[in-house]
Each structure stands twice: as C-alpha cells, then as structure tokens.
C-alpha cells in the first residue's frame, strides 16, 4: 500500500497546529520573562523582545491566512 499525498485539509490542519505550537512557545517565553522581571529588577528587555516576536508571529499568521 503506497502512501497518498496529504489532502488540502490535512495540510491546513498541520499548518494551523504548527502556528499554535509556535504561539504557545512564545506565550510561555513571555510568562518566563515576566517572572524573571519580577525577580530581577531592570530585566524588562526580555519582555519587550518576546512581545515583538509574538507580534511578528501573529502578523505572519494573519498574512498567511489571507492568501
């Protein structure tokens, strides 16, 4: 039995799952940055970087969903 090529729905589901995992990872990184900022005064740069990455990922996901 030969494997068949994935259906368009399967490809879309896989892509959505990848985006979900990426955004979850970014959310966890943001949480870690917030906790670190609470523990170490002056460590706010981490939060700014994570928020920037989240915005970029969100914009990329939105652009891909429009095409």
Check if the beta carbon of residue 37 is closer than 8 Å to that of residue 44: yes
What per-residue confidence (pLDDT) applies to 42?
A: 63
pLDDT per position as a tens digit, 42-56: 656 767 777 788 888
What per-residue confidence (pLDDT) applies to 10?
A: 92
Give the chain's residues under pLDDT 70. Answer: 1-3, 41-44, 46, 67
What per-residue confidence (pLDDT) applies to 37?
A: 76
Q: Domain boundaries in the chain?
A: 9-66
Give 35-38's long-range contacts (Cβ < 8 A, gap of 24+).
none
User: What pTM does this model have?
Assistant: 0.56
């Amino acid at each position: 039995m030969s494997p068949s090529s994935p259906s368009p729905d399967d490809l879309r589901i896989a892509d959505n799952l990848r985006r979900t995992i990426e955004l979850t990872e970014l959310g966890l990184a943001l949480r870690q940055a917030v906790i670190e900022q609470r523990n170490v005064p002056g460590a706010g740069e981490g939060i700014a970087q994570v928020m920037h990455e989240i915005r970029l990922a969100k914009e990329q996901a939105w652009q891909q969903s429009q095409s």
